[in-house]
Amino acid sequence: MTKPITIAVPKGYLLKETLRKFKAIDIHFPSNFEESRRLFTYDTSETYKLLTVRPWDVPAYVEQGAADLGIVGKDVLLEQEPSVYTLKDLEFGGCKLVIAGLEGQSIKTLKHHCKVVTKYPHSTMKYFETIGKKVKIIKLYGAIELGPLTGLSDIICDLTATGKTLKEHNLIELDTVFESTAQLIANPIGMKIHYKEISDINSRI
């Protein structure tokens, strides 16, 4: 097989952990790659090609087959529901998607048609469908915590790891939508072509 196995990884914390995990199973990418501006690199054996992409773009690369493997938060997978194989929970990058609001609010007392700001409209919609509440979802791309403070929304649905940012904005967790960790995903055809290699990585990583 001449074509390298391509792996899409988001820059930042997940990339750092990924490089460490690969190093532990003897797949070595250049040590200065994290600091460089390059968007891809090869391991020393040139069997693996690493792409650094935006977290939200990892499923697209894997689903379309531009990458054989990807490492991505479960939150992104649940939000996008891409047609990929999920191979393994890598158990790092732990965080959770929560519903949060101001002191005194609770899920039970939320009014129908209350406004929710979120980066996760699909997951938010599913959550409120499950509990049987009709809400207005407003999609934002960041600074979600501003929603209730500025009157843009009543509550928020956002990702939190430590809860610190929520606390700093006087927001309290009302409920957990789901918990998330980094997952190893594969393109279904890439999985057939590189079955042995991918199974091997999956069992050792």
Partner 1 sequence: MTTYTTPQGISDYLPNDTNILNTQIIKLQSLFSKNGFKQIKTPTIEFAENLEKGLGPTQKKQCIEFFDPAGNRLLLRPDNTTPIARTVATRMNTEKTPLKLCYTEPIFRKSNQNHSDTEIFQAGCETFGYTSIEDIAEIITTCINALEALGVTDIGIDIGHINFVNGLSEEKKEALLKGDYITFGKIPERGESIESDNNDLTHLITTLKTKSPSTPIMINKGLVKGLHYYSGIIFEAYSNHNRNIIASGGQYDNLCSKFGHTISAVGFAINLNEIGFQHD
Q: Catalog residues that contact partner 1 under the rule CB under 8 A.
A: 63-65, 81-89, 183, 187-190, 192-193, 195, 198-199, 202
Shortest Å, Cβ 204 to partner 1: 13
Shortest Å, Cβ 195 to partner 1: 6
Quick check: 161 and 182 in contact, CB under 8 A? no
Cβ burial, residue 195 (10 Å; 0-12/13-18/19+): exposed
The two counts, helices (H) then strands (E), for the chain are: 8, 11
Q: Would you say 88 or 133 has its CB closer to partner 1?
A: 88
Shortest Å, Cβ 113 to partner 1: 25
Residue 98 φ then ψ, to 5°? -125, 155
From the list 63, 27, 26, 54, the residue with the least C-alpha distance to 42 is 27
Q: Would you say 26 or 91 has its CB closer to partner 1?
A: 91
Q: Would you say 55 or 82 has its CB closer to partner 1?
A: 82
Q: Would you say 176 or 199 has its CB closer to partner 1?
A: 199
Shortest Å, Cβ 20 to partner 1: 21
